[in-house]
Amino acid sequence: MRGGQGGDGCLSFRREKFIPRGGPDGGDGGDGGAVIVQSDAAMHTLLDLHYHSFNFAERGAHGKGKDMHGKRGPDLCIRVPVGTVCKDAETAEVLWDFQQDGERFVAAHGGRGGKGNARFATATNRAPRQVTPGVPGEERWLLMELKLLADVGLLGFPNAGKSTLLSCLSAARPKIAAYPFTTLSPHLGVVQLPDYATCVVADIPGLIPGAHAGRGLGLDFLKHVERTRLLVHLVDLSTQAEWPAL
């Protein structure tokens, strides 16, 4: 991501018919736009960022004569789902953790606009020809990780009946089949509770021994487990003997 570059300052002098010594009137350049990351509850995946990995904000306009300053570059707003963790790709430092709808984080600041020659006019230097260029915007690589936010997480061995239970509790329709790892990504379902209350239930992919070391789906689904408020372990007694104990 990269913030917009600031506009250059203008070198200009006032030229009018009956004003022979109008003096400098070069305006300043506009500031570059910033790249802002905002959480949006209506989004559920980071698929948009997958296809648009390069995000550049617009630069500021250059200054003009007659003391006209350049227009500031518009900010670029990137929307991500709630539960996204924004990290610096080089240092792995957590920059922001979006846990609520509408949170905003300035990922890359725009550059400051340059000064026109009107800024450098003094009593001893009445015709300055000095201007400054715009400052480049901040540039950085970011790593976005989506960690599922749910009230209840269903854990268990493959084919333990997690997807079936979710389909019975909510209107979600996850894939259900008679072979292991039919659930490759978490599925969410909204369960209606008394007094018009609701809770979000997540169907977590099958848990097998050695998942922390990369077996099965590895850490891809373990990252989602740490965000759930309650973990429900589903045990199928008819197939328990087929899987080794954890």
pLDDT in tens, 151-166: 788 887 777 777 888 8
What's the pLDDT at 1? 87
Residues linked to residue 99 through DSSP beta bridges, in sequence order = none
Answer whether 160's CB lies under 8 Å from 235's CB. Answer: yes
pLDDT at 241: 47
Q: What share of the chain is helix, strand, coil (3-state, %, to 5)?
A: 15, 25, 60
Q: Using alpha carbons only, what angle is made at residue 174 by residues 171 and 180, rounded to the nearest 5 degrees?
A: 150
Tens of pLDDT, residues 207-239: 767 665 655 555 556 666 777 778 888 887 765
Q: What's the rounded mean pLDDT across residues 20-49?
A: 88
The pLDDT of residue 176 is: 72
Does domain 35-146 sit in CATH 1.20.1630.10? no
**Using one digit for the tens of pLDDT, what is the confidence trace for 127-141?**
899 999 999 999 999
Place of tokens 């850490």: 219
Within 8 A by CB and 6+ apart from 142, the residues are: 1, 37, 86, 87, 88, 89, 95, 107
Which two three-digit tokens encode residue 204?
A: 């977590």
What is the per-residue pLDDT across 183-198, written as a single tens digit (0 to 9) for each?
Answer: 666 777 788 888 877 7
Annotated domain spans of the chain: 35-146, 152-242
CATH number of 152-242: 3.40.50.300
